[in-house]
Structure 1
Amino acid sequence: MDSRVIHCVKHPVEPSDSMVSSATGYKLVCSYNWKASQDLKIYIPGFAAVLQEVSLPIRVPEDQATRSMNDSTALVPECSFEPLFRATASMNPSFRFDEVDILVNRNSLRKLLDFCRGRRQDSFRINLYLVHRTLIIERCEKTVSKLIGGSQKSGWGRNFERTLTRYPPGLEDSTSHHRALRYQLGDLTCVVRFEVDACYERKAEEGGTSQSLARAMSRLQTDDSQGRNASASQQLTQRVPMAQANAAEIKTAARRKSPGAYMPQLWFGRTPWLILGQHTNGTFEKLSITDTAAQFAGWEETHQLDLRKLAAVLAQLRQAVRENGGKFCIAIHEKATETSTIQVYPSCVANEAVPEKLKGELWS
């Protein structure tokens, strides 16, 4: 990394002029599941593990394993968005990133929002690439795995999720479900990738219908033929993609928390359902399901200024890379500094965020 600072984002940030609202809607760009395999394989399209009916109370063992914090970064460190690009080319072959301003993970948006809110957080680094007009923000962690158990106790969340959900037929060996949505963040057109914990649909007596989910499940048959666009890293399947309206986030807590505690994660992923399991030392006694989509408008109104600041930061980062000739840059936020800043440095390494073949398919 070059030691020259080519741009510095300083707090407080001047907000952008445009309002930010989820009411403008979203479109599914792609989805995929990582397959448990020695080879790097994904199922396209993906489908989240489906919420099961369980009788409470239920005892769940404490998490005792090392799990990846980000499957894409762990498995494809050289090009963490490659699974997204391959899934997009297969599911949505007419889609082009030419009109996309920002491609980013949900986690990176949450960190940048915390910076805009002036919240103290750990140091972080993000990699910045420019492909035509599209700024690609790549998550960069010191370690892509975290130890669960021992002195770094992470609780019961992972095992609770496994107890509560099952992947559909043909996808039983999946390890995670990921999807990408296209939506507006003020004037910026964004494609945001995130993980979905579960597929949930209300029962008919709760005001919803399970027929559409049943139809989708009935078509979950794996296609043995690889198809023209398939490669060694992907397996095409014939299924109805899971509706975003069924996406759910699963959380665990010893005491009930307000859905507001999870809203940034839910809002950036346009995730309409929050499933919260309350437990005492791993014995889960209560399960609550909240329609969080109904709270999006109120949350974004309360945090409108911070969201507009976030849009401004994203625009600044893109402009910084442009002024560096579009070459690979690194942005770093240091926890220890007195003044909260994000400093952008030019990289000494000529990394590429998109394989050339996929760049030709997805950009004009």
Structure 2
Amino acid sequence: MLYSILRPRLLSPYRHTKKAKLGSLLSLVGVCDRKFVHGAAAASGDRDTYKTTENASGPVTQHPHNSTFGGLGRYLRSFDSSLLEPAETPVSSSPNSELISSYTWLPTTSPPTIHVPGVTPTWKPMIFPAQLASDDQFIDPPNRSRSDYRFEAAFQATNLMKPGFRFDNVDIVARHRTLLDLFKFSCDRGHSKRLTNLNLYLIKNTLIIAERKSLDDEGAKGSFKFGRDFRRANTQLPIGAEEEFNYRMIQYSLGGLSCAVLSRVDACCRSSDDDMSLEPDFTTVASHGTPLDNHGMSKAPSPPLKSPLVKVIARGSIDPQSSTVEITTTTRQRSKSSNIRQLLKEQLWFSRTPYLFQGIHGGQGFFRKPRTAHLTQNDFRAWEATEDNQAGLRKMVHLLSQLRDTVKATEEKSCVVLVSSRNLRVFVNGGRPGMGIPKILSDNTVAEFWSS
């Protein structure tokens, strides 16, 4: 009966959005029964319906758009954002973060290849105003579109840059945008459009959180986004370098949790008279046999782990975290939001990025004066000290701890989290039919970074 009432509101010429509208409306009226949702999806006439099969661990629900993400096993628990309790330990950005690894993806190669520590483009703003074309196509760096082995490259880079480093005392491994969206959820702001379903893996005592879809993906064809071309127009690579998508993993504390956080570095601030040639900034570490860097890095690079998933080449140089820049774009309408400064500060807080360069356009790629910001350590401390932000951070820490405890209690040591408005539902990871649960790291990597 409920569906017959809602059906007129669901009619749309766009078939692929019908189920999304249905799910949104059902969440508004508080429908939580999976069987009802599945039945309603089937009644809508959509060919993509849920399928339930049996395996050794019980019923497994396969989402039609989730074949690479793993099926849903038995339901475990849910988290309501309005009912989250704060952790006891205050959250602070002091002491400063520590750089664990840095790497850069090479353009399409087989096997997927990274340079470690890689090279980061120099921030060189273009002349404004300026007109840019929208990103013409979706280009996904190698090995990032798969949910399995999502963090393999970061660990391979860690082995080269910090030999002997272990993750036994690391509680959480995640992307900074994943933590940012979980923070927004913990603040009870409603469903974040960026937050997608999650895969949770427990290795020893470390919880690894992976998004089904990479949060850094931008520029789908026809979406009229400008982020990719805007970054290219405002940065410059050293002569001879062809890499893009530089990433680094840093370690810092969230209350009582030790976190290894992966984020993308769009650019670095350098002096205007820097030499942009291949030498000496872009060096081959392996041939010199010299220290990689004095910013907490190892003085004796170790041989890369043997991995069929990622090829590692020791090459590049490291810029200090204090020089990193995040480059983003937004529309003029969104830039006028009353809380835009709060949103920008929290975005930089989780990646510990001090510089922001944001292009503002009217929707068609015409950029006028950009927005720039430089946040110091005092700015980060001031942001986290406000009552609302501190409460949200502590609730997020408690949520992360509870998610880890939930996964730890399962035999599979892997769960799937379904995200809806103000609610997270946790299921056992049912795996893929006939293939089992996908891995987040190779066996060799697990053996290298965790004690047996």
TM bin, normalised by shorter chain, reads: 0.7 to 0.9
Shift of 1:104: 0.7
After superposition, the C-alpha distances for 1:184-218 in whole angstroms (9 at most, x for unaligned) are 00000000101111111466xxxxxx77x989972
Give, in whole Å, the separation in 1 of the partners of 2:330 and 2:179: 24
For the structure 1 residues 318 and 34, does the alpha-carbon distance in structure 2 shift closer, same or farther, using more than 3 Å as the test?
same
CA contact (8 A) 2:238 2:278 kept: no
> Paired residue for 1:234?
311
> Paired residue for 1:30?
101
| Higher alpha-carbon Rg | 2
CA contact (8 A) 2:304 2:312 kept: no
Give, in whole Å, the separation in 1 of the partners of 2:186 and 2:199: 19
Amino acid at match of 1:175: E
3-state SS of the aligned residue for 2:430? coil
Amino acid at match of 2:349: W
After superposition, the C-alpha distances for 1:79-136 in whole angstroms (9 at most, x for unaligned) are 1000011011111112100100001111211221121111222473111111111111
Higher relative contact order (CA 8 A, sep 6+): 1
RMSD (Å) for aligned C-alpha atoms: 2.9
TM-score normalised by structure 2 residue count: 0.70
Amino acid at match of 1:298: A
3-state SS of the aligned residue for 1:109? helix
Give, in whole Å, the separation in 2 of the partners of 1:37 and 1:198: 21
Give, in whole Å, the separation in 1 of the partners of 2:265 and 2:123: 12
After superposition, the C-alpha distances for 1:160-192 in whole angstroms (9 at most, x for unaligned) are 11011122245x221211111100000000001
Give, in whole Å, the separation in 1 of the partners of 2:214 and 2:75: 21
Give, in whole Å, the separation in 2 of the partners of 1:262 and 1:153: 22
1:219 to 281, 286, 291: 281
- Name stretches of at least 5 consecutive residues in structure 2 with no aligned partner: 1-70, 288-300, 432-436
> Paired residue for 1:301?
385
More off after superposition, 344-353 vs 137-146: 137-146
Percent identity between matched residues is: 29
For the structure 1 residues 143 and 283, does the alpha-carbon distance in structure 2 shift closer, same or farther, using more than 3 Å as the test?
closer
1:316 to 402, 409, 413: 402
2:244 to 175, 196, 203: 175
3-state SS of the aligned residue for 1:266? helix
TM-score normalised by structure 1 residue count: 0.86
> Paired residue for 2:352?
270
> Paired residue for 1:206?
none
> Paired residue for 2:183?
113
Give, in whole Å, the separation in 2 of the partners of 1:262 and 1:136: 26
Q: How many residues align?
A: 348
For the structure 1 residues 67 and 215, does the alpha-carbon distance in structure 2 shift closer, same or farther, using more than 3 Å as the test?
closer
Shift of 1:341: 2.3
| Structure 2 residue 209 is the aligned partner of structure 1 residue 137 | yes
CA contact (8 A) 1:73 1:139 kept: no
3-state SS of the aligned residue for 2:118? coil
For the structure 1 residues 344 and 254, does the alpha-carbon distance in structure 2 shift closer, same or farther, using more than 3 Å as the test?
closer
> Paired residue for 2:446?
359
> Paired residue for 2:22?
none
CA contact (8 A) 1:223 1:236 kept: no
After superposition, the C-alpha distances for 1:279-328 in whole angstroms (9 at most, x for unaligned) are 45434342443112342112212200000000000000000011113621
- Name stretches of at least 5 consecutive residues in structure 1 with no aligned partner: 204-209
